[in-house]
Structure formats: C-alpha cells, structure tokens
Amino acid sequence: MTTTAPARCDLLIIGAGPAGMAAALAAAESGMRIVVVDDNPAPGGQIWRNGPGVQLPPLARQHREGLARHANIEVLSGTRVVGLGDRANTGDAAALILENATRGWTQHASRLILCTGARELLLPFPGWTLPGVTGAGGLQALIKAGLDVRGQRIVIAGTGPLLLAAASTARKAGAQVLRVAEHTSWGALAAFAAQLVRWPAKAWQAPTLLRPSLRANAHVLEALGNTQVEAVRLQRGSRTEQLECERIACGFGLVPNTHLGQMLGCTLGERHGLQVDAGMRTTVPGIYAAGECTGFGGSERALVQGAMAGHAAAGEADAAQALQNQLARWNAFADALHRHFPLRAETLAALPRPDTFVCRCEDVAHGVLRQRSNWIDAKLHTRCGMGACQGRICGAAAQVLYGWTPQPARHLLSPARIATLADAGGKPSHESATQT
C-alpha cells in the first residue's frame, strides 16, 4: 500500500469497504493497474473499521491481505475525491481530483468503479445537537476508535438491524444499554425474523443481538440536558417514558452515497441508489457501481456486487455472470430489510419544533426552512446545506421533512485546499468549495 499514485491507471476504485476490496481483488488477476482510494486510515469501510479494541473478522483480514499481496493494486488511504478534473483521453472514464494530507492531483483511469457506500439517515428532534447524541452507526465507530463508554447509560433509537448491532457493540464495551427503541412494529419484526431461515448466517446471528431492552413501535421524542445529554423522552405506542442517560444514539436507516455518481452524470435507480445493470454498469459508459451506493442491503450483497463489478470492468463478463445467483439471494435479503423496516415519515417529520436546527453546520432552524419552497430556495435564503457537510446530513433530512430533492454538485464534491486545485491543473470550477 502506498501514499502516492500514478497520474494514470487502468482501473480506479473509489471506496475500500467490502465492495471496493472485492472489486479490486476480482480485477487483479487481469493484470490491470488498479488504484483504490479511501478516506479512512485503512481499508474496510464502516463495517470493517479498524480501532484499538477491534478484532477484525477473518473475512476482513483475508481481503486486506489479498490487497497487499497484489503488486498491481495500490491502496491510497487517507485520500478523498474533491472534484472533477480534465479528461486526458477521449476513451477514458471521468478524471477525478484527489487530495490527501500533503497534496492534490488529477487521477486518470480507463475504468471507474464507485463503491462509495452509505451513510446514516439522521433526523432532527429537540435536543439532537446536544453533546452525547450521535447516530447509531456513529456510536459504533466511536467505540471502535477507542471511546470509553464503560458504565455509561445509553439509549438507542431509530429503525433497522443497525440498532441491535450498535447495542451489542456498546454492551461489549461495558456500557449499560437501557433501551433499544425500534420504530417498526412487533408484527413487522416477527415477519422479518421468520424469513431469516433463508439466510442461515443471519438467522444464527439474530438471537445473539436480541435483549430485553428492545421495544417495538417506539421512537425518540426529545433529548434533555443543558450542556450534555442528561435524559431522553421516548414514545412507546400511546405512552411516553423518560430515561436518564449519558448517551443517545439514533439512526433511521441508511442513505446511499450517490453524490459523486450524480456529479458524474449517473442516473439514480430504485431506493435512491445509483442505477446499475446486470453487469454493474451505471448509465455512464466506463463507470460501474457496487455496494451500498446502489441501495443498501448488507455487506454480503456488497461483496458480491463488488466482485461482479471488478470482473466486468476487467472484461470478464462470464465471471461476473456466474455470480448472478448469489446476487439474487442477497438482493432478496435487501428487499426484506426495506419491506419490514419502513420509514414512517409522517411520524418522524413531526418531531422537530420551530427552533430545532435542521442544518447543524449553518444553524438553520426548522421554522425557517418550512417557509421555503425547495432545496435551492432554502440554500439561497438560509445557507442550508452550504456548510462543512455540504448538505449530506440536512439534505437527506429535508427529503423526509419537506419532500425536497437536493441537487447534486456540479464540479466540486467537498471543500478543498486552493493548492489542491492549483496542483490538479485545468479549470476545476469557478465556484467556491462551499457553494456546490
């Protein structure tokens, strides 16, 4: 693994989670010169994140070791995509401006695979900006990075299997999980559990995650405290309960990271992910996509899609086609997740008060935003979405709260150093990095 890359490669893979790792390993035998870019310190993505107290599963170690064995794979950790560069050759995929801690450059490639994953859907409620409130997946990441939660009282709320996984991580780290408030109903949970026999590994795992603290048909109402979380109010059916706690972790599902794909001109498909065909090709020639950015469905699905994309990008259509049955199996699991953990937007959209911040970067409140007509109108009049996260958090929330569709960036994906744009050459954008 290196910290520099050639200005040109045969295959550029964005994201080193399960999908990106599988894509690189599948394409490696072809002899293609492959560059894998990821902004984390090491490959693995969110699910295989490294940390002081983390013991990586055998499959994760196997993939990392596989990347290290192949001389034609270069992994650029701590590197991110900041924008579009000038295409060098007519037949190339789009050129991307990359940036790490020391430099920026334009990376050219014949083929491009997007494995940009997904992020948590965070929805605003009174008190959600208090220190001690995080996403459910965010809590997992913090604990893996070394956060000491021993003895802390934690409440986890939202919807989806990630809640139980976060609760399990917190318990193993010594925390006291008081409540897991699952928004979906007991009936939907039971129906989902009954289908797990189709995926034995999932069925075997499920009982280890269940605990008496689980409550269905429940959701967060308010985080209480002055300078730090002190308690939480929950709605459970027709009742409310208040629990004293030190931490609250809320996650309302996952949102595919499609910003880069949309900036490149790729079309969105079902469930707001990038649209791909049976060979993992997007609607833009030379660009493939795999994993959660095509719609979330778990790491197993991401691994299969990544392998298919790698084979397809290497011109190995038969090898990609041979994985179709595996993909169909895990697509069925993804369908079950979406069917049994629906987001009841009408309930969650009623949570914020007029003074509840929706855009945390620019301190824009719900009462101000609901007077605007659409996303562009809100940006022009309130600076919503113009802060450090570039609308990734508030943009997804605005879709649930107001039905708005945030517009994709045109040239720059995230704030970048002036030196990066200068070193990249060409004319990356006339816009500032906070106006995309």
**CA–CA distance, 135 with 130 (Å, rounded to integer):** 12
Q: What is the pLDDT of residue 3?
A: 45
Residue 2 has pLDDT above 50, yes or no: no
pLDDT, residue 370, reads 94
CA gap 97, 425 in Å, rounded:
9
**pLDDT tens, position by position, 31-88:** 999 999 999 999 998 888 877 767 888 999 999 999 999 999 999 999 999 999 888 7
The DSSP symbol for 64 reads H
Is pLDDT larger for residue 188 or for residue 88?
188
Q: Which two tokens stand for residue 436?
A: 């995309």
| Nearest-angstrom CA–CA distance, 66 and 75 | 12
Question: How many other CB atoms are found less than 10 A from the CB of residue 335?
Answer: 14
Q: State mean pLDDT over 11-35.
A: 97
For 376-388, the pLDDT digits (tens) are 999 999 999 988 8
Looking at residues 334-353, what average pLDDT do you find? 92
Q: Per the confidence metrics, is the pTM higher than 0.85?
A: yes
Query: Residues of the chain with pLDDT > 70: what percent?
Result: 96
pLDDT of residue 87: 80
- Is the pLDDT score of 430 beyond 60? no
CB 241 within 8 A of CB 248: no
Per-residue confidence (pLDDT) for residue 406, from 0 to 100: 85
pLDDT of residue 375: 94
Mean pLDDT, the chain, rounded, equals 91
Which of 198, 187, 152 has its CA nearest to residue 173?
Answer: 152
Q: Which two tokens stand for residue 395?
A: 């943009």
| Residue 287 or 211, more confident | 287
Q: Per residue in 130-153, pLDDT tens?
A: 999 999 999 999 998 899 999 999
Contact 248, 233 (CB under 8 A): no
Q: Give the pLDDT of residue 1.
A: 45
Asked if pLDDT for residue 356 goes beyond 90, the answer is yes
- Output 278 or 53, whichever has higher pLDDT: 278
Q: Nearest-CA neighbor of 276 among 294, 260, 262, 261?
A: 294
At residue 428, the pLDDT reads 35
CA distances from residue 223 to 153, 218, 280, 356, 377 in whole angstroms, order as listed: 14, 15, 42, 12, 30
Question: Has residue 435 got a pLDDT over 80?
Answer: no
- Please report the pLDDT score of residue 4 as a whole number: 53
Range with lowest mean pLDDT among 194-203, 229-238, 299-308: 194-203
pLDDT tens-digit map of 148-174 = 999 999 999 999 999 999 999 999 999
How, if at all, do strands 8-14 and 34-37 pair? parallel
Q: Does the pLDDT at position 399 exceed 50? A: yes
Tell me the percentage of the chain whose pLDDT exceeds 90.
76
Q: Are 342 and 327 in contact (CB under 8 A)?
A: no
429 confidence band (pLDDT: 50, 70, 90): very low
Q: How confident is the model at residue 5 (pLDDT cuts 50, 70, 90)?
A: low
The full set of domains in the chain, from first to last, is 8-119+255-337 (3.50.50.60), 124-251 (3.50.50.60), 346-402 (no CATH)
Lowest-confidence segment of 27-36, 237-246, 336-345, 416-425 by average pLDDT: 416-425
